[in-house]
Amino acid sequence: MIRTTLLALFFISAARLIAQELDCEVTINTQLLTSDALDNLSDFQAQIKTYLGNTHWTKEDFGSDRIKCTFSIFFQGSPGEGRYSAQVFIGSQRKIWDARRKRPLEKSSVLLRIFDEKWEFSYTRGLPLIRNEYRFDPLTSFLDFYAYLVLGFDYDSYESAAGTPYLQKALNVFNLSRSAGAPKGWEFPGSGSYSRTRLIDELMNARFDDFRAAMYVYHGEGLDYMTKDSSAAVAKILRAVDMIGNVKEKINRQSVAIKTFFDSKYLELCQLFLNYPDENVYRKFSLIDPTHQKYYEEYRQKRE
């Protein structure tokens, strides 16, 4: 795979022998909890960080190129002893490469920005989190799902559809939730503007193959070539947006995957095209992504 090849060429070191894939920043907000519920969570943040950062999610070694990601957990309440409800922001970044010099730049691109409002689980202070791929657990299965989603998006950005094995594992987690009676947050098709089950269903649906292909065109053929041939790179990024627009037109309904893409990319698109010769590019973005229309219009007016 392209990602593996790049790492092999540019990040060979002894330190890679012990490195995992995810470099996660974990934060928690417990302002809505009682003191008793809060006491039980004294080691929760550290446990989540250890679970995400020390688990081997793939058979590959990412070395110093671990994926930067964020899990921000906002506790909403404690409906019973050791039980919690929370909302979670999940974000991840991807390094931008210099295709001319074949090395990573200091710049990064946001790959994922997701706000999941429906997480319910039980937690007991002092008990280690045990990963089991064959049993559904409301706490660890949620973490597994998003770890694999982060990996799937990352791999897709380096090679078309290369993230399939990890998205399949995320789908496996969803399937396990069915055997557990589809707890809150795992319902299908799901409700509201975001649903983790609708997202993974779309990503693994053949109708979204061009959406996933666009992830590579945008990053691997676009952003990574900005330092080598910026005009050609910008053309590739526009092609990726058009591919996603075509998918949206064909499915003719709201899409969680497409919304997730633009929630992650709208500011980057605004900034990338600030000096583009045709200001109508912002109108194109608005048509495909009306949710962020005011931002596209704001940047279009900056050109006047």
Quote the CA–CA distance of 183 and 77 in Å, as a whole number: 17
What pLDDT is stored for residue 13 in this prediction? 33
Which DSSP state fits 8? H
Quote the CA–CA distance of 12 and 68 in Å, as a whole number: 19
Question: For 151-160, 249-258, 263-272, which range has the lowest pLDDT when averaged over its residues?
Answer: 249-258
- For the whole model, what pTM was predicted? 0.92
Most confident stretch, 34-43, 178-187, 190-199: 34-43
CB 105 within 8 A of CB 96: yes
CB 22 within 8 A of CB 57: yes
What pLDDT is stored for residue 16 in this prediction? 33
What pLDDT is stored for residue 11 in this prediction? 37
No. of helices (H) and no. of strands (E), the chain: 11, 4
Q: Please state, rounded to an integer, the average pLDDT across all residues of the chain.
A: 91
Quote the CA–CA distance of 134 and 141 in Å, as a whole number: 10
Quote the CA–CA distance of 31 and 237 in Å, as a whole number: 42
pLDDT tens profile 13-56? 323 334 479 999 999 999 999 999 999 999 999 999 999 999 99
Q: Residues near 164 by Cβ (< 8 Å), separated by ≥ 6?
A: 152
